[in-house]
Amino acid sequence: MKKLAALLLAVVMVFSLTACGSKDDGNKGTTAAPAGDTTAAAGDETAASAETEGTTAAAAANGEGKTYVIATDTTFAPFEFENDNGEMVGIDLDLLAAIAEDQGFEYELQVVGFNAAVTALESGEVDAVIAGMSITEKREKLYDFSEPYFDSGVGMAVAADSEIASYEDLKGQQVAAKIGTEGCTFAESIADQYGFTIAQFEQSAEMYQDVLSGTSVACFDDYPVLGYEISRGTELKLPLPMEQGSSYGFAVLKGENAELLEMFDKGLANLKASGKYDEIVNTYVATGSADDAETESAAETESAAETESAAAAE
């Protein structure tokens, strides 16, 4: 995967002339040459990295009915990522497995990346997306979301030894963002004001690499994800507090799969009531309580040690 990502890195990049670009931004056509290249590269990537995982957990209760196809991101820890045993795990995927078990539905997971997942939902190739997907007003016009299951927001990460401490410091520089995400939308919303350009990537890992290599001076991604990445030893830091808060939801296409959405909400409520929700979140985020509001500050606390030691080194 890493080698593949590195190989694709050059082709997958698009510069900031294009908008943040996923279907949910309403950019259906990719007529410009760079965007066309990106689409082709993304297609290859999807084909190469799509792992279809049958779920044993969900298979039990319900013999009847369909197997839902649910798309997720590739690496968006702690929400979805591959563990040392090569299994896809994380808060999203553990919640989904527990909810499916609770509600007795079956599903097949497609690990395709965030933008690809949303595109697949849009075209009806998959029934739902769970991928740390922020519930936004714009998206609510296109998708039906579950009840929010995790509070999040956007953050800016810079290299651990970077002197960038504010958006003003980005003047004349390039930053990295992930296609079709709220991080990208946020970066775009302040790019003119602070005078920076945006390089867009399909995957979070590619963004981090671009910052670590010094090509981009900063990247914009979800704050708890950046915090988790830093807590795992990636040499980044978060010089500023979280921006643009939003909550994650499980998404289906508007008006479709209402029964799946209903099962998700019921299952989620059951997991919250039984303590299983807290248990899952606490597996990945070191917090005393998994109250939505507190998980953010837990991610912050996790990264704070790294940030401080990086600051001390300067």
Q: How many helices (H) and strands (E) would you count in the chain?
A: 11, 14
Binding residue for ligand GLN, selected from 131, 218, 260, 285, defined by CB under 6 A: 131
Binding status of residue 306 toward ligand GLN by CB under 6 A? no
Residue 196's nearest CA partner among 167, 217, 219, 171 is 171
Q: Cα(91)–Cα(79) distance, rounded to whole angstroms?
A: 4
| Tokens representing residue 60 in the block | 């039990």
- Fill in the per-residue mask, 133 to 162: x = in contact with ligand GLN (CB under 6 A), - = not in contact: xx----------------------------
Q: Cα(76)–Cα(228) distance, rounded to whole angstroms?
A: 10
CA distances from 225 to 34, 89, 206 (A): 28, 14, 14
Query: Of 3-11, 27-35, 155-163, 174-182, which part binds ligand GLN (CB under 6 A)?
Result: 174-182
Residue among 178 and 237 whose Cβ is closer to ligand GLN? 178
| Tokens representing residue 43 in the block | 């297609």
Q: How many Cβ atoms are within 10 Å of 45's Cβ, its own excluded?
A: 23
Binding residue for ligand GLN, selected from 8, 35, 70, 76, defined by CB under 6 A: 76
29 to 48, contacts with ligand GLN by CB under 6 A? none
For tokens 């643009």, name the residue.
244
Query: Of 31-39, 44-52, 132-140, 159-167, which part binds ligand GLN (CB under 6 A)?
Result: 132-140
Binding status of residue 90 toward ligand GLN by CB under 6 A? no
Looking at the DSSP assignment, which residues form a beta bridge with residue 221?
155
Binding status of residue 181 toward ligand GLN by CB under 6 A? yes
Binding status of residue 132 toward ligand GLN by CB under 6 A? yes
Query: Is-contact 215 85, C-beta < 8 A?
Result: no
- Fill in the per-residue mask, 111 to 130: x = in contact with ligand GLN (CB under 6 A), - = not in contact: ---x----------------
Whole-number minimum distance, CB 46 to ligand GLN, in Å?
Answer: 15
Binding status of residue 94 toward ligand GLN by CB under 6 A? no
Binding status of residue 177 toward ligand GLN by CB under 6 A? no
Residue 116 one-letter amino acid: A
Whole-number minimum distance, CB 131 to ligand GLN, in Å?
Answer: 4
Binding residue for ligand GLN, selected from 116, 160, 178, 257, defined by CB under 6 A: 178
203 to 232, contacts with ligand GLN by CB under 6 A? 222
For tokens 């997991």, name the residue.
271
Residue 158's nearest CA partner among 196, 111, 117 is 196
Whole-number minimum distance, CB 135 to ligand GLN, in Å?
Answer: 8
Measure the N-to-C terminal CA separation of the chain; round to a whole number of Å: 34
| Tokens representing residue 162 in the block | 């970077």
Binding site for ligand GLN (CB under 6 A): 73, 76, 114, 131-134, 178, 181-182, 222
